[in-house]
Structure 1
Amino acid sequence: MAAPAAGRGCWSENILDYFLRNHQIATEDGAEITWYHGANHRAQLEEALSSAAHMVEADVLLASTGAERGRPVMAHPPDTHSDTTLRAWLAAVALSDKGIKLDFKSLAAVEPAMILLDAVRGRLQRPVWINADVLPGPSGTSNVVDAKPFIDTVTSFFPAVTLSLGWTTGWHPKKASEGYSWAMVREMESICDGLSQPVTFPVRAALVKQSCPQLLWLLKRSDRYSLTIWTGKDDNYSTEDLLYIRDHFDKKQVFYDILEPQNCEFKQAIGITVNL
């Protein structure tokens, strides 16, 4: 299926096209995109907005206590409260030139968050990704967000937004990691096959090397698809693992939202200057 045409500043525009056009990267290479991960509190958001990051990622849930109870705030479970509401977070980001990725752990937060996002859409003419884990993955124990109502709710507000659809995963240093199975990638493809907007699949770095045939198959299903490599803080993986991924996948289809020091080591190994 061919990718739909995406206008400048449209949320379905390829982020490499966007940042190239704005002279923020030099080549059509997903490794050039830098990320600030987990900007869930006011201090982290201020740091993210003053950093060299192109994309700022944060988590959205409904506050369970306090004056903001029932409203979208920026927090990652098990935290259920924050010093920053989604409304304030979006207002701050709208004054910057950063792209954003909003991560949802529950369906309940999605519609109220889309209402707030809709209110600032005219001031966010840059990449916007909406993320949820919609399928169980390798050793995944967290609850998934039901794919159909999640996608239906998001696209009812924003038909052309970039979707980030992943699998729940677990990591056990002393256990063999099985990777993403054929059943997992085929089920994901069945969810995404009828969609028209870009979809990126967040995949855990420590599980990608053993899943190359499956993930390569998935990416070949559509030129709308990409991978976003992410890492857990206690995961056991090496720079060589990241270089293996880079050698086996199209550079235009893989983004790297990874932690330090591996991020710097990886980018130095491939000749990309790191601006912190």
Structure 2
Amino acid sequence: MADEAQGKRCAAAARPCAWSQEAVDHFLRAQRIRARDAAAVRWFHAANSKARAGEAHLFFKSTGDVHMIEADVLLRGGKGGNGEPIMAHPPETDSDNTLQEWLKEIVSTNKGIKLDFKSLEAVRPSLQLLEDVKQHLRRPVWINADILPGPNGKNSVVDAEGFLDTVTSFFPDVTLSLGWTTGWHPDKHNKGYNWMMVKEMAQICSALPQRVTFPVRAALVRQSISELCWLMQQSDRYSLTVWTGKEDVYSVEDLLYIRENFDKSRVYYDILEPQNSEFKKAIGVE
């Protein structure tokens, strides 16, 4: 009955059902992973420039190597710019790849996508472009923004109300990826996500009907297990996406500790090498 109701909602919204499914369930039903284990979902990160997209060409064309493609969207000229949506990550303000070109390439693949926004100004024009290709994207689509300040993070966040109102006005069933700005310092004690942070996020998300994943920084999760477990207990629509900065120091043991404390179907791992391969080997996931 739940699947039937979901199908009716998808049909009524004239959007691909995969948008309202948990990503791990989509790829399991498509027989692209072997078990209901979110760690089996493989990522390609920061596929922004055409050169970077070129590196990912084999991944784009393959049915097995990668499941989700993550990329960053700005307006040309940076925050406050009035140009077209481009694929770039601050401090960059220009790119040789536009969102329109990027989506055209993605449509020819079977990859799910995660679009990461650093400014509210870029959201509406980007979603208008996504609207044009929505019927060709019958796979998971996540829309991401950091809407709250987090551990060691900056206060410059994407306005939560404006972001959520804009996204849900276009796509009420898309998966939202809602995070905190964070920092990590090698020569300091790095505090984790505290109770105020997770409770504020829970309050924002309590009225949302769609799936929400919370991107959390790998080096900050172990010291935040109690808080993040509580957050995940607030709804079965919630998941975590563990990510890492290039200079962060964390261990495979930290990742295994995360895995031991959460439902394995509800934690995705978008992490860098060599920890990614070592972690997958340790848990027996290809």
How many angstroms does 1:48 deviate by? 2.6
* Structure 1 counterpart SS, 2:152: coil
Amino acid corresponding to residue 43 of structure 1 in structure 2:
A
2:42 corresponds to: 34
Question: Which residue in the other structure is 1:256 paired with?
Answer: 269
Given the alignment of the two structures, is residue 186 of structure 1 paired with residue 199 of structure 2, yes or no?
yes
Contact 1:204–1:229 (CA under 8 A) maintained in structure 2: yes
2:117 counterpart of 1:101: no
Q: Is the 8 A contact 2:72 2:115 kept in 1?
A: yes
- Provide the rounded CA distance (Å) in 2 between the counterparts of 1:5 and 1:190: 25
Check if 1:225 corresponds to 2:226: no
- Distance in 2 separating the partners of 1:233 and 1:196: 34
Q: Could you report, residue by residue, the CA deviation over 1:176-208 in whole angstroms, capped at 9, with x for unpaired residues?
A: 111000000000000000000000000000000
The residue aligned with 1:266 is 279
**Mapped pair 1:86 → 2:99:** yes
1:137 paired residue number: 150
Which residue of the partner structure matches residue 21 of structure 1? Answer: 29
Judge conservation of contact 1:55–1:98 (CA < 8 Å) in 2. Answer: yes
Aligned residues: 270
Question: Is the 2:112–2:140 Cα contact (8 Å) retained in structure 1?
Answer: yes
- Residue 46 of structure 1 deviates from its aligned partner by 3.2
What secondary structure sits across from 2:185 in the alignment?
coil
Is 1:64 the counterpart of 2:72? The answer is no
The equivalent residue for 2:180 is 167
Q: How far does the alpha carbon of each residue in 1:43-73 deviate from its partner, in whole angstroms, 9 at most, with x for none?
A: 22233342211000000000018xx961100
Please tell me whether the aligned partners of residues 45 and 70 of structure 2 are also in contact (alpha carbons under 8 angstroms).
Answer: yes
Secondary structure of the residue that 1:226 maps to in structure 2? strand
The residue that corresponds to 2:13 in the other structure is none
What amino acid does structure 2 have at the position aligned with 1:72? Answer: P
Spell out the pairing of 1:197-212 with structure 2 (5 A cutoff): 197-212=210-225
Provide the residue aligned with 2:51 in structure 1.
43
- Residue 49 to residue 155, structure 1, CA distance change in 2 (3 Å): farther
- Contact in 1 for aligned 2:148/2:155 (Cα 8 Å): no
* Mapped partners of 2:87, 2:206: distance in 1: 31
Q: 2:167 aligns with which of 145, 148, 154?
A: 154
Q: Which amino acid in 2 is paired with 1:36?
A: F
Contact 1:179–1:207 (8 Å) recurs in 2 = yes
User: Which ranges in structure 1 are unaligned for 5 or more consecutive residues?
Assistant: none
Q: Would the aligned equivalents of 1:90 and 1:117 in 2 still touch at CA under 8 Å?
A: yes
Q: Secondary structure at the match of 1:132?
A: strand
Inter-partner Cα distance in structure 2 for 1:94 and 1:270: 32
Q: Which has the higher helix share?
A: 2
Instruction: Answer yes or no: is the 8 Å Cα contact 2:47–2:71 preserved in 1.
Output: yes
**Mapped partners of 1:9, 1:170: distance in 2:** 36
CA contact (8 A) 1:178 1:210 kept: yes
Q: Secondary structure at the match of 2:208?
A: coil
Tell me the distance in 2 between the aligned counterparts of 1:104 and 1:93.
Answer: 18
Q: Do the aligned partners of 1:9 and 1:18 also contact (CA within 8 Å) in 2?
A: no
Whole-angstrom CA distance in 2 between matches of 1:272 and 1:181: 31
Cα distance in 2, alignment partners of residues 19 and 45 from structure 1: 22
Aligned counterparts of 2:198 and 2:58: Cα–Cα separation in 1? 37
Give the superposed CA RMSD. 1.7
Contact 1:166/1:201, CA 8 A, preserved across alignment: yes
**Cα distance in structure 1, aligned partners of 2:133 and 2:54:** 19
Deviations 1:137-188 (A, max 9, x none): 0000261001011010011000000000000000001111110000000000
Distance in structure 2 (CA, Å) of the matches to 1:209 and 1:49: 35
Contact in 2 for aligned 1:49/1:96 (Cα 8 Å): no
Deviations 1:202-226 (A, max 9, x none): 0000000000000000000000000
Return closer, same or farther for 1:116/1:257 CA change in 2, 3 Å cut-off.
same
1-side partners of 2:56 and 2:29: how far apart? 22
1:163 aligns to what SS in structure 2?
strand
Map Cα deviations across residues 205-253 of structure 1 (whole Å, 9 max, x no partner): 0000000000000000000000000000000100000000011111011
What residue identity is the alignment partner of 2:54? Answer: E
**3-state SS of paired residue (1:88):** helix
Residue 17 of structure 1: CA displacement? 1.2
